[in-house]
Structures are given as C-alpha cells and as structure tokens.
Structure 1
C-alpha cells in the first residue's frame, strides 16, 4: 500500500514539473508532458481501485483500456518527433491522431469482448478475455519494436545538445521498463484467467518497475526544463559561500559581447581571442577530457555574462546553456577539477 501511494505522489510531481514549463517545450517534449499526465492518471486509477473502491465501473474499465492504448503509442510519437519542429496546428493534428488511434483500439477491444451486463473487458468474467489479452500483447510488442527501431535511428551526436548520454539513458530506460512491465501485466492476467494466483514476485516486480518509472519521469522533467533553474540556485549558493570565505572569484569583466557574434564554437573562440584571452585558452586546453562544446562553455564561464546573454550570443536556448554548464561542472567534478576559473585540481 505504501509503495502504491508513493508511486502516485511521485508521478504527480513528475507531471507537475513537466506541466509548469510546458510553454517552453519543443514538440517532442510536449508529448513527454502528455505521457506524464497519462501515467499519473493511470497510477491514480490503480490506487483508487486497489484501496478505495471494491468494484470497477464500466467507465473506469473503458478509461483504463483507452489510457493504456494511448500511453503505449505516445513513446513512439516522441522518438518519431525528436529533433523536429512542428507548428501548433501540426502538433494538434498529431495529438488528435494519437487520441483517435486509442479510441479505435478501445472500441475494438469492446467489440471483441461482447460484454453482457456489467462485465468488464480485462476481467475473468469476460468469456473472450484471451482474445483481448493476446490482442493487447500484440499491440505492445509491435509498438515496443517500433519504439526501439526509431530510437536507434536517432543520431544523438548531431541533434539537440540536451540529449546527452545521461538524458538518453534516462529516456531509454523509462520507456523500455514501461513496455516490459506493461506486457508482463497482461501475461499475469492470462494466468489469472486460468484461476492461478499472480505470483508475489511478479506483483512486486511491477511495483518496483512503476516506482522506477516515476523516479525516471521526475529526472526527465528536471533535465527537460529545470536544469537552468537549479544551476542558478547553485551559482547563488557558490557566490554566498565565496563571500563568507572572503574569496574574490576570478572574473574577466571585459565586454566580449560584440566580438562573440563571430564565435559559435571553441575553434572560433581560439581564433578570435588568441591574443586577448590567451590565459583562458591555455587553461581550458589543458582539460582534454572536455568536448569542444564544453571547452567553449569553460572559456565563457569566467566572463560576467548571464545565461541569457550567452544564449543570445550563441543562438541557442536558455535550456541548452543551462544543460551545457551543468555537464561542464559535472565533468570537472568527476575529474577532480575546480569549477571556478582558473581550473585547478581540487
């Protein structure tokens, strides 16, 4: 009971984190928000039926099937839209397509079940339960294979910088776990239809899987929209700490805004400022564990520039700036370097 309530609370937090900043999201991220909503309502429905209601109404039964059909389809849409910018009208059309597909599949389940009275689709009283379960398992497998195929085609090195190694792992594990645990649920239902009790091992595996998914959803929400905010908080804490210790951080306050219009990469920075900021270039070049993008951000960090300034100058989003500085500090820390210029072993 505790785990079920915890999963519901965490899924609610994940959905709220996505929803609050939904106006800043790219096309594929809006469907991440939609997925978080579907998952949140599914955990809420499960919690209600398990602990607060002894019976399932026809409405909740149909909603459960509809929710399942749509939620399974959304990850495929997300990877299909990754890196693509859709207009508002096209985003709505895709959304309507997903909803209509879910409704069509739900109607198909309903027609197959051929229910009498208050019978439910995925319930032992349904005499055609096997047909419904096998149809659902086939739907799961097809969409899972399609998801993996589209995921494999994404060239993460040439697309949005947000999709770095950590984000990719969180994103992939979340949906792979979802497809697997959902399929196992219906396998368990086949055993239940034979009168066999669902094993405790499978039951707890599904609970742990859902807990993991809820945590991964929160992590994904943070990576998608909140890293910039967290970095601002972290930087303010660092400034307070430096003031308390009477340490003057080394800051280059030269106005480089005009020159930076010609700087879009680390190589550009080295060419434009080879003489003027030789000290920075020498220090940053020592950090051979950084990528060229990370070296550019390491070189920009000593300047008195806000994230908004850098986003404008480099023609990238605020979220990209926040993500790159987060990644930079993480790599510096992992390699025992200071996150303040000059970068020295700490």
Structure 2
C-alpha cells in the first residue's frame, strides 16, 4: 500500500478498503463523496460509501482490501461501467475539472489516449441529448448505455451509445479515431410511441442491437434518482438492429423485433445467436412479479426472429431485472433474478 499524506477510505457492505492519495492544488482526478448502490428487493445494497481521493498527473493510487470490499466496484464506477443495475448514487468524479458522475445537459462521452508519460489525453468529446427527464424503465437521468466499441476489422473502429432524447432515443455512432461528428444519429425503437433503454447495446461487426426497457418497473431506485416522466408506463419491450453501411458514412435500421427482453441480451460468439430471458403476460409493476411468464429465448441476429423459447417460471423468482447473465464454456447460463440465481443448462 502506498504511503501518502492523505488517506481515502472505501466503505463497503463487507468491510473497509483504505488507500492513499497525495493532495494537489489542481488534481487531474478528484473524487469526492462517491457512493455506489445496487437496488435489491425493496431496498438497495450500498457497495461504496463516501470515497474521497485526488490524483495528479503521473500519480499512482493503491487500493487494498479483502475480497468483496468494493475495490472493483470503485474502479468501474469511475468510468460508469458498473454491471447490471449498479449506479453511482452520490458524490462527484472530476476528471480535469469535469464531473464524470453527473449526467447533465453537457454530459460527455469521450475517447481517451495517453501521452508518453502516461497522462490521459482527451482526443475528442461529444455531447449527447439527455432528454427532459428520467424515463420510466431507467435508473438514472441520461444515457443508460455503456459506450461499446465495435467494427468489422479489429472490433474497435467505432464507438456507440444511445442518448436519452424524447420520445425516442438516438443511436450515436462515432469513429473511435475520428469524432466528434457522428457517423450517424438515428432514432431507434420507433415502432413504439415512446422508448428508451437502460441496457448496454450489443455491438459486433457492423451491427448494433438495442433493447427497449421503457416502462420496466424496478423494485427500487438508486439514492437520489429523480422522478421519471411520466411516473410509469407499460413495458412494451422490443429490440432493434441497426447497421453501419459498408462505406462507414451512415446507418440504417435492419429489423425490429417484438420480443420483450427482461434481461440484458448476450450475443454468443460460439453459434452467433442472441440469448436472453424474455417475458410474456402482464408486464406492469404488479404483473412482472406475479403472473408474468419468463422464458429462455434464442433470437436470430440476421432476422430478429425468435428461434426458440423455453419456459422458466412465473413471477418474481424468475424476474431478471434487466441484469446480464453469465455463460459458462459449456453453454450453461447463470442468470441473476430478483430473489437469487437461476441455472439454465442444455439438455
């Protein structure tokens, strides 16, 4: 552990992580009161509680603690790459004076590189439309998508997010080594009166797959989350595939699928198919935890057609809360739900 003049503490549900950071008059990275929460049932698990530290250019920070104490969660929260429903619930993360934890009108997505001495350099930056308010089916006000790299050659030619414009979000695609002018800005999930997403996209080759979570009712929201507008809505579900053209000059919608994905879909590199947990029946706030039926579904990425659907169960025991599942090498899927973990294996 580094010995510095000022200590930073990461307080988690299971212990305390201590680290050291030097004070600087104008730090490159300045974290104050950072809190991270994961909604669970009627409450939430506070994984990180009130972290403070500063780093200057070229500084190194060591974080020490037992397993489960919040070290990885802290690191992921700094880049807004928290898994599942985890969200920054308070505090600030200032990078060169700009708050990365805030999702305001001027919130930015950026591509960073490093100078020869390792100092982060902003190559380009681009604003996105935050929209007038948090949408129902989202956990925070702003884009719900993690920036995803993709491309037909090395897989990193493009970077994409979905903004929070109303009534429909726009898929924004940028050249990773270009920017900030987008290759395309195209409305998605327009088959519904309103749409939005809390899920990261699937991006592979020239294709991007976007899931509609508008109206999905969560059992709890992160601390400090603003009210949604409207306060609630029906969950229509649906997925869309958008392709970047061969010239890299624009995008087009290839298909829209009516499948109601209740989990974050995954693209299998083994067989090229999309896997998710879908839901049928009543999908309001009461229905998802009572009479809604959950299925393990396979989707054809070429057409959007549902190739197979296997019944899992009914009600909250099987509600995956838009969380991502984890697949084992043998194809077994471990899917988190509102009450535990479901193991789905091939026969």
* TM surpasses 0.5: no
TM-score, normalising length: structure 1: 0.24
Q: Which has the higher helix share?
A: 1
Give the number of the structure whose alpha-carbon radius of gyration is greater: 1
Q: Which has the higher strand share?
A: 2
